[in-house]
Structure 1
Amino acid sequence: MKFSIRLLIVEDDAAAINEWGKHFERHNAEDDKSFEIIPTFAESFELAKEAIVATNFDAAIVDLRLKVPGGGGHHNADGNEVVKLLANAEMAAVAIYTGQPEEAQLPNGTSKIEVIPKDDGLETPMQWLKGQGEMLFHIQKVGEIIRSKIALTFHGSIWPRWKNWSTHSRFSGANSDLLISALTRHFVSHLHADLLESTNEVAHSEEWYFVPAISSSGISTGDMIRNESGAIEIVVTPRCDIAHSDKSITLQLAQCEDISVEWNEAHANLTVEDKKTVEKAKNKISSFIKHRSKNVIHFLPPMFNKDGNIEGPWFVRFDCIRSEKKSEELLASLNSQRFATLAPEFLPALVERLGGFFSRIGSPDYPSHHLE
């Protein structure tokens, strides 16, 4: 794994910049390094902003207190503004390296930003950077694939169709923001379909979820809730019934049965030497994934939560659904308790199985004595 990390260093002290440069030279001279560091130095918020516009950075290390231009040596807290800008503009690993760690302000949704006290010396942020190497390598590869796929999609599908949309008389007067939003969604849907097809529609378990749930939307079908008792439930009420008070007076939540103990035992048995035990474990895992061939449950794979801990897998129990009278208070409470959302590509399978479970009529059993 040999690659380069484009690193932004936001620091206004000349001696510190010189010391950083020496560390990078020593690192890049190492024979066993997994990546090379390409540094860019910025001494103020304005210079950092210009650098971010000009370069796609993989990582950044930011000092909080920067000198005020023409301020006679006075400092400000513009480093927090740089961090906010990075969080909104870059797919980059970010660390705050400061002598005032208590002044660090982490933007919402960016809990993984590291705060490193300057008392620890430069070796600590260097070790942090090395620890990000594998993730940054994969993020770079993701970017390369996306750019390649977008180019093919643009020339093969998007441009021929949208050129007509934007010039056709029916659409020429349409709201520009609406067209841009539609074009963005069209790009993303093409890209997702193309990438899924390229892997023969095999998905990673993490693709099942949005973690954390999308904060800009209200409670919706597929939201996963951790209630007051710690139990996990999933919202199964149709989103249109949630959004409109005149359609339904209640909201339904299905219990998620934690099957992690059996799941983990089965996976542990995959590594034993006894072939029968391994085969039995494989069959058990396959049975889980196939919902144990029962209509009453739906399998959801394990996930990493926002703290990096594994939760699940679960069986959604269609025979354990509770109804709550819909109210603004209930929706607000559930909104504070939700920790994940089932991704749109995987929600229809849950809804389809739920509908299939309740639409069954069944028939009397054929008496066994007729078989004798």
Structure 2
Amino acid sequence: MESFAELRILVAEDEESKIKEWVDAIAAHNVDVENKKFSVNAQFAKSVQGALSLIGQFRFDAAVVDLRLEIEDGVEENNTNGNDLVRHILVTEPMGVVVYTGQQSEADDYRVPQVRIMNKGEGLAQVFDWLSSNKDLFLRLRAANQTFNRETAKIFFGSIWPRWNHWTSDSLPGNQSLTDVLARHVVAHVHDALLDASGDRTHPEETYFVPPIKNRLDTGDLVNIDGDVWIVVTPRCDLASAGKVETILLAKCKDVSELWAAALGAGAKSERKCNELIQHERMPKQHFLHPMRDNNSQTHGPWMAQFHHIRALPAAEAVVQLLPLRFASLSPLFVPSLVERFGAYFSRIGTPAYSSE
């Protein structure tokens, strides 16, 4: 018998009649699992505190939240406490979120377009349709979490636990938290282990952070200035310390999407043509940047960063002007090669031209 995935959802709802609707709808859905291709396992909470307690005990793939929740268990009053729960989830838990309410106008602007706001009057079918359309993403995220835990277990038993006394006895410079240090150490090990397991091969989507994560200008930031794409090439060590440099350097990015499309369509020669572009067309004056998709699934690039087309901006002006123009940033794995090639281009000496006359 074919096995089907089970989605685990949190339902924050304080009306008994609505909870019964959920129970009946889930039972009907699960009876038809062969057609639906997934089953649903739900936990119910009537208050924000109840929901937070469940989040602490279980890992959920998605949450469906009513805005009207009990103030505390057994205490009812008109409120929009569901907004508090959604905001908590958005900063602490990677999961899908639906606001399922009869008061849609009272939902906050969560600034996350993926959070769906649904009208209770249109029934639960829309929620199940949403779960179905996002099922693969939720299951991939769960599998990624399991992979991370597996690799974390290896580093925990092999390195962290045996050396824990060194972690706790060493004084930390500045205001660093031992928790943050430990988290970075684990993430670095897990990232390296997963990269090694894939044979040091990455997916193009790993090339960028979209949008940029840092709230300051950084090496590898891509900016759009008057329709032209530029990339910050000033070394990270200079950008990390405010006032260290007086100018910020950017290299212009030449769009090579037509060449890339032609290479992809070159049949048997496709891999060789693509590799020529990825290898910067063997020109030291430029650096290949993979194509990327933005949050609206629009494709941009690929580009060649032009080291012979450099723009310098006063540092103070650059911070103000460029920050709002950033649309992506190279991930740390790809920044070193950019800076290395940039430095190699400018450090070449060359020789005088030879004439036989």
TM-score normalised to structure 1 length: 0.87
Offset, 1:243 = 4.5
Partner residue of 2:77 out of 68, 71, 74: 74
Residue of structure 2 equivalent to 1:61: 64
For residues 208-357 of structure 1, the aligned pairs below 5 Å read 208-215=207-214, 217-227=215-225, 229-244=226-241, 247-267=244-264, 269=265, 277-327=266-316, 329-357=317-345
Q: Secondary structure at the match of 1:242?
A: helix
TM-score normalised to structure 2 length: 0.91
Offset, 1:52 = 1.1
Q: Identity of paired residues, percent?
A: 37
Residue of structure 1 equivalent to 2:196: 197
Q: Residues of 1 paired with 2:105 and 2:6: CA distance? A: 32
Q: Residues of 2 paired with 1:72 and 1:164: CA distance? A: 49
Q: Secondary structure at the match of 2:222?
A: strand
Q: Secondary structure at the match of 1:126?
A: helix
- RMSD over aligned Cα atoms: 2.4
For residues 32-111 of structure 1, the aligned pairs below 5 Å read 32-69=35-72, 74-108=77-111, 110-111=112-113
CA contact (8 A) 1:94 1:114 kept: yes
Q: Secondary structure at the match of 2:35?
A: coil
CA contact (8 A) 1:106 1:113 kept: no
CA contact (8 A) 2:248 2:312 kept: yes
Offset, 1:9 = 0.9
Shift in CA distance, 176/295, structure 1 to aligned 2, threshold 3 Å: closer
Q: Residues of 1 paired with 2:206 and 2:337: CA distance? A: 14
> Which amino acid letter does the alignment assign opposite residue 346 of structure 2?
F
Q: Secondary structure at the match of 2:275?
A: helix
Shift in CA distance, 183/354, structure 1 to aligned 2, threshold 3 Å: same
Shift in CA distance, 182/14, structure 1 to aligned 2, threshold 3 Å: same
Consecutive unaligned residues of structure 1, counting only runs of 5 or more, are 270-276
CA contact (8 A) 1:5 1:35 kept: yes
Shift in CA distance, 197/77, structure 1 to aligned 2, threshold 3 Å: same
Q: Residues of 2 paired with 1:225 and 1:182: CA distance? A: 31
Q: Residues of 1 paired with 2:211 and 2:129: CA distance? A: 28
Offset, 1:194 = 0.8
Residue of structure 1 equivalent to 2:145: 143
Q: Residues of 2 paired with 1:72 and 1:15: CA distance? A: 17
Q: Residues of 1 paired with 2:173 and 2:274: CA distance? A: 52
Offset, 1:76 = 0.5
For residues 360-371 of structure 1, the aligned pairs below 5 Å read 360-363=348-351
Q: Secondary structure at the match of 1:75?
A: coil
CA contact (8 A) 1:67 1:74 kept: yes
CA contact (8 A) 1:251 1:325 kept: yes
Q: Secondary structure at the match of 1:193?
A: helix
Q: Residues of 2 paired with 1:290 and 1:174: CA distance? A: 41
Aligned residues: 353
Shift in CA distance, 35/70, structure 1 to aligned 2, threshold 3 Å: closer
Q: Residues of 2 paired with 1:51 and 1:14: CA distance? A: 18
Consecutive unaligned residues of structure 2, counting only runs of 5 or more, are none
